[in-house]
Structure 1
Amino acid sequence: MSREANAIEHDQLTAGEMGMYSRHLLIPAIGIKGQLALKNASVLMIGAGGLGCPALLYLAAAGVGRLGIIDADQINVSNVHRQVLFRITDKGQNKADVAKRRLQKLNPYIEIETWIERFNLDNAQALVADYDIIVDGTDNFTAKYLINDACFYGGKPLVYGAIMQFEGHVTVFNALDEQGRRGANYRDLYDGPPDAALAPNCAEAGVLGVLPGMIGCFQANEVIKLITGIGRPLINRLMVYDALEATSREISFSPVADNPLRDPMRPPVLEEMAQVCSASGVSNDFMLSIDDFAALISETSIHLIDVREGDEREQVSIGGEHVPLGQVGGWGAQCRDDRPIVIYCQSGVRSQKAARILAQQALTSPVFSLKGGLSAFLGADTYPQMMAELVFCECRMSHEARL
């Protein structure tokens, strides 16, 4: 189905669709009218990870006529315990491509479009403009603010989800309430994004595998409610779910007067997000790939620095010196040799911040941040060989120190 064809409203269901959606059709509040609304709707899923996988599964199964998926990442073994569209054998493939294949087999009556790229300042407004509802499946603050701002300027409802360890959040931003008023948005809850290096995501703090399944399903439910006009969407209401206690609570919020998006005298906030994304996200500065790291430790002695906190290191470590992020500057002031410095954390965010700190100290050593951090190291095919090289490297450094 072409995009032009999808713009023509469908006024009937095929025999195959009638059979597939028969249980929906039995519900008076949905029926043929609601199912046609789903068929004529379009939804953009930003991120095909822990939240995106369950949300996409149920939106596709529900019969949303056009789904868009944007995700630049490839499947890693560590994804599979919570990203239920993927298998271990999919390792290395693009998430969006694999998701499309699986979803198209689930429901051949819908159209699915994919973009193997990041949702960024260059594509945000065009993508948002092309869909009825946007679903946030990302796991970092800068992306969430960018999505929020693009939806505000584009006048599109945003179904928000967030997860961390055992807690999940769901709400609906920027949608019209029963009185036709535009609801609150992310900046009405929080003014602006914190430093990404100090704000852990799931790759840094971990997440219970079933939690994104629950929250992603809640997001799909909100989308279906918005499309069909049933129920009471989570507009101006944040649902907080505690997986350990199996309880939920609701936090009410409303538009605030000093939200910068509503200030006509301010320049567009999307332009400001360009500086935020480049300053607090992970760039290519100081980046050392896993393959280059393997080559480096096989050739020379290095300073391997773990900048995570003590409790993280106790759970799993690949060795090296333990220098928490807040102490990196002091460690650099005492470094006197020119061995390469390779810094790692859980996902590569904090290690890059540490690399920037050390780079400002005019050290004679080259400074690197391990790309993807400990997660990428443990998921690499060459993990056993690299661990052996690290052990050998530690022995070599001890021998050199004695000399």
Structure 2
Amino acid sequence: MDAAGGTTGEAAEQGLPPLVEPVAELSADERALYSRHLLLGAIGDEGQRRLRGASVFVVGAGGLGAPVLLYLAAAGVGSITVVDDDEVDLGNLHRQVIHSVAAVGQPKVESARERLAGLAPGVRVDALHTRLDALNIMALLEGHHLVVDGSDNFATRYLVSDACEIAGIPLIWGTIDRFRAQLAVFWSRPPAPAEPVSLRDLYPSPPPPGSVPSCAEAGVIGALPGTVGSMMAMEAVKLITGAGRPLLGRLVLLDLLEATNRTVTIRPDPSREPVTELPDGSDDASCEVRSPELAEVPTVTAVDLGSELGGRPGAVAPVLVDVRGAGERSIARIDPSVWVPLDTVAEDAADPTGLLGRAAAQGPLVIYCKSGMRSARAAATLAAAGFAGVRSLEGGIDAWIRDVDLSLPGY
């Protein structure tokens, strides 16, 4: 990755040829609907007809997918496929503006399809309420001109990137984190003289599981996915019509809190082996693969923990340790519990007079977080520091809310 100002060749400076052939003509209603596009020299009648002929595959109907879907449909993209296996939750609505309170509990793809039908009735929307995996993704991508990835986990991002690299389909990619975001375009077989660039040229492999907090753990400002998703939709418009200079070979870094942005160049890694096949299908993109040391951490289910906390004759009740952030704890917590944020666990464990040492003197420790990943890391740290009998709450507070205490709010 180089400093801003570099290019991936002449094509990067001059743009790329249009990705999609135009349909024969626009109807009178379409000319009225897209009149502001027709006035733009870079789009015009031909560009709008290319948009009508385009088929775009959108991964996710959440934070990034919401503005992507709204603006692609509003722009007149002829066919959109959206895939997401999640349902609308009340905590989604501050950023996933395609959904509404009335849609809570409904599959996100169905909610999105209903919204787009009212916004752009001439656009075909195929809603797939399913999870992408190595078995289905290649078949699902067939017939689409490009992919926009608005997924929220590393496994799916790398699965989508690898599939696009194999298929030779351009990929518009974005990620969001609190107030910051990244945005790029990848394409394994772009027209010459542009150089092929993949996500793995930028980030060769995913970070270790649990090392990067999700939006559900760290939070995200609602306007951020709106900003980035709109930019992703614009990249799709540029690729489809040939307008402007797409972000192929460039990475945009945004910080809305500081109101800054910068662009750096991405170059292909000559030592990287091209991706030619996906895993055999036994690997599900939804699975969180734990390191061997975390896999050995003892766990307890929410139901069993509830029984232990309820008291059994002669048994010492476990002591709960919450390793989440302050914001998460303010939303929901299991009481009583000791609060030791994950990044302070090792330091506290080394102090015999620390919170953890005092807690361990009262009973066996059970560590919890949101989903069980951070608590497993904390439990492994404590075991290495000499703490005995430490367990991690399997599934975290999510499992506790689902199986034990439905009165607590999820997030």
TM-score range, shorter chain: 0.7 to 0.9
Equivalent position SS for 2:181: strand
Asked whether the equivalents of residues 355 and 368 of structure 1 are also in contact (C-alpha less than 8 Å), the reply is: no
1: distance between equivalents of 2:109 and 2:362?
Answer: 45
Asked whether the equivalents of residues 138 and 144 of structure 1 are also in contact (C-alpha less than 8 Å), the reply is: yes
Matches within 5 A, 1:100-119: 100-119=113-132
Gaps of 5+ in 2: 1-19, 312-316, 350-355
TM-score, with normalisation over the residues of structure 2? 0.76
* 2:326 counterpart of 1:306: no
Partner of 1:344: 368
Equivalent position SS for 2:289: helix
2: distance between equivalents of 1:85 and 1:372?
Answer: 28
Equivalent position SS for 1:82: coil
Matches within 5 A, 1:33-182: 33-174=46-187, 179-182=192-195
Residues 240 and 146 (structure 1 numbering): CA distance in 2 closer, same or farther, change over 3 Å? Answer: same
Post-superposition Cα deviations, 1:19-59, rounded to whole Å, max 9, x if no partner, equal: 21111122232222111111111111111111000111000
Q: 1:279 aligns with which of 289, 292, 300?
A: 289
Post-superposition Cα deviations, 1:234-260, rounded to whole Å, max 9, x if no partner, equal: 011001111022221001111011223
Residues 375 and 239 (structure 1 numbering): CA distance in 2 closer, same or farther, change over 3 Å? Answer: farther
Q: CA deviation at 1:120?
A: 1.5
1: distance between equivalents of 2:319 and 2:21?
Answer: 62
2: distance between equivalents of 1:312 and 1:365?
Answer: 25
Asked whether the equivalents of residues 24 and 35 of structure 1 are also in contact (C-alpha less than 8 Å), the reply is: yes
Partner of 1:193: 206
Q: Indicate the larger mover: 55-64 or 367-376.
A: 367-376
Partner of 1:237: 250
Gaps of 5+ in 1: 1-6, 387-403
Q: CA deviation at 1:261?
A: 2.1
Q: 1:268 aligns with which of 269, 277, 284?
A: 277
Q: Indicate the larger mover: 341-350 or 133-142.
A: 341-350
Residues 116 and 349 (structure 1 numbering): CA distance in 2 closer, same or farther, change over 3 Å? Answer: farther
TM-score, with normalisation over the residues of structure 1? 0.77
Tell me which amino acid in the other structure corresponds to 2:248: I
* 2:386 counterpart of 1:369: no
Partner of 1:382: 407
Post-superposition Cα deviations, 1:134-183, rounded to whole Å, max 9, x if no partner, equal: 11101222221111111000110000011111111111001665634453
Asked whether the equivalents of residues 348 and 369 of structure 1 are also in contact (C-alpha less than 8 Å), the reply is: yes
Equivalent position SS for 1:148: helix
1: distance between equivalents of 2:195 and 2:282?
Answer: 23
Partner of 2:239: 226
Q: Indicate the larger mover: 365-374 or 108-117.
A: 365-374
Residues 41 and 312 (structure 1 numbering): CA distance in 2 closer, same or farther, change over 3 Å? Answer: same
Q: 1:208 aligns with which of 205, 215, 221?
A: 221
Tell me which amino acid in the other structure corresponds to 1:73: D
Residues 347 and 13 (structure 1 numbering): CA distance in 2 closer, same or farther, change over 3 Å? Answer: farther
1: distance between equivalents of 2:234 and 2:266?
Answer: 21
Q: CA deviation at 1:335?
A: 6.6
Equivalent position SS for 2:236: helix
Partner of 1:396: none
Partner of 2:3: none
Partner of 2:263: 250
Asked whether the equivalents of residues 175 and 235 of structure 1 are also in contact (C-alpha less than 8 Å), the reply is: no
Asked whether the equivalents of residues 343 and 369 of structure 1 are also in contact (C-alpha less than 8 Å), the reply is: no
2: distance between equivalents of 1:8 and 1:240?
Answer: 32
Q: 2:44 aligns with which of 26, 31, 39?
A: 31
Equivalent position SS for 2:283: helix
Asked whether the equivalents of residues 174 and 232 of structure 2 are also in contact (C-alpha less than 8 Å), the reply is: yes
Q: 2:31 aligns with which of 11, 18, 34?
A: 18
2: distance between equivalents of 1:68 and 1:287?
Answer: 40
The RMSD of aligned alpha carbons is: 4.0
Residues 382 and 18 (structure 1 numbering): CA distance in 2 closer, same or farther, change over 3 Å? Answer: same
Post-superposition Cα deviations, 1:186-238, rounded to whole Å, max 9, x if no partner, equal: 11111101112111121111111101100000000000000001000001100
Q: What count of residue pairs does the alignment treat as equivalent?
A: 367
Partner of 1:399: none
2: distance between equivalents of 1:59 and 1:225?
Answer: 12
Residues 175 and 11 (structure 1 numbering): CA distance in 2 closer, same or farther, change over 3 Å? Answer: farther
Query: Which structure shows the bigger proportion of residues in helix conformation?
Result: 1
